Structure 1
Amino acid sequence: MGRGRVQLKRIENKINRQVTFSKRRNGLFKKAHEISVLCDAEVALIVFSHKGKLFEYSTDSCMEKILERHERYAYAERQLAGENDNSESQENWTIEYSRLKAKIDLLQRNHRHYVGEDLGSLSLKELHSLEQQLDTSIKQIRTRKNQLIYESIAELQKKEKVIQEQNSMLAKKIKEKEKAAATQHMTWEHQNLGAPNSSYLLPPPPLPTLHIGGNYREETAEAERNELDLTLEPLYSCNLGCY
């Protein structure tokens, strides 16, 4: 004997109602997955339990894209139907408000998911997708950070090269000035070597790094004492012979 037709009505027993809800929900999601695979269709399924808990299923394209596509098609159909009177225009604004509010709620929920909050309602597939999105974002952030670091290093290297060139120019100028001062001092010594009386020699120009003037004065004083001794020696001998 065949099975009789079951009358559809609300199950009064809470336990039986919950068990039936779980079974039928899993079967519904399974059928949605099968039709999406077999017919290459985009499917979005939203279920709220009697306690208000959300259960949803969507194909590879995310739920948000499917809902936005539905809203666009519905709005286009309403426009083609000639809904132009004031009441219908007000209804369109109401629908637009509802759509934007739903989109804002969705963005806020996604933001909570991105910061690691309110993850209890996500399935394993949704958690995996969220993890991939975060990994992609982290890679992009690291790439941008490394680019800024490389640009900063290149700028510092340019500044270092400019400073090194300036230091080389300053060192070259210092060497040229020291060489000019040494040449001037050697010229002065050469001009005064053949002077008849060293006591009339002018002191050499001061050199900041070479202390030659003091030694030269000592040699000049010693030469004067030797000349004075040579001058006094004949006089002293003559005086002794006269006596």
Structure 2
Amino acid sequence: MGRGKVQLKRIENKVSRQVTFSKRRSGLLKKAHEISVLCDAEVALVVFSTKGKLFEYSTESSMDRILERYERYSQAEQHLVTTDFESQGSLSLEYPKLVAKAEVLQRSIRHYGGEDLEPLSLRELQGLEQQIDTALKRVRKRANQLMNESIMQLQKKEKALLDKNNLITKKIKENEKTLEERTQWENQNLGQNSFTLMLQQPSLPSLTIGGAFQARGGASIEEDGAEACPSSNQPMPPWLLHHVRQ
């Protein structure tokens, strides 16, 4: 059967109580040492017996160092709690002030918008008018400043575009001039080449009328190495003309 649940209560027998204290104290110190070694934790243990005898255990760091660290942590926690409490108290005091201030600001906004003007006196209305006039002047001044800056930027862009346009126009004119000079050069070369080809063509033989004919002496002029044929530009003799007409 399993072990039953033991009810924790004070041991009435003094001897048994002392024996249990010794055993449990040794086990507690052993467990403290084990947790400090296994978990690399700083452990400080303080036990007082019923007779007021002190039993303590601390890790490699001294007991005083652990206690100082504990005191600093406790003071920081206490200060944090105190600060939170004070901040909550100050917030509770500041809340009504902030609400009243928000209501004043909302009322002023409505007045600037031309609403809820009935409760205002003549002096308050004049002051409100002066404030609106001053604000309107500031708004106009800022608007004019932004407008001037925008105009200056547009002028700079316009100047940059004009410079770019002039550069493109200059390049186009240079390209047109280059193309015109190239065309003239090609036309001149074409004319010179045509003239050269005409000079290089062989001359056509001269046309003779009547083909081969006999000379007065009956000798043939058509033979190779004989007399040359009369030029077509020379006048025909009368006797030849007479035969041609017949």
Q: Which of structures 1 and 2 has the bigger CA Rg?
A: 2
Relative CO higher for 1 or 2, CA cutoff 8 Å, sep ≥ 6? 1
Tell me the TM-score range normalised by the shorter chain.
0.3 to 0.5
**Structure 2 length normalisation: TM-score?**
0.43
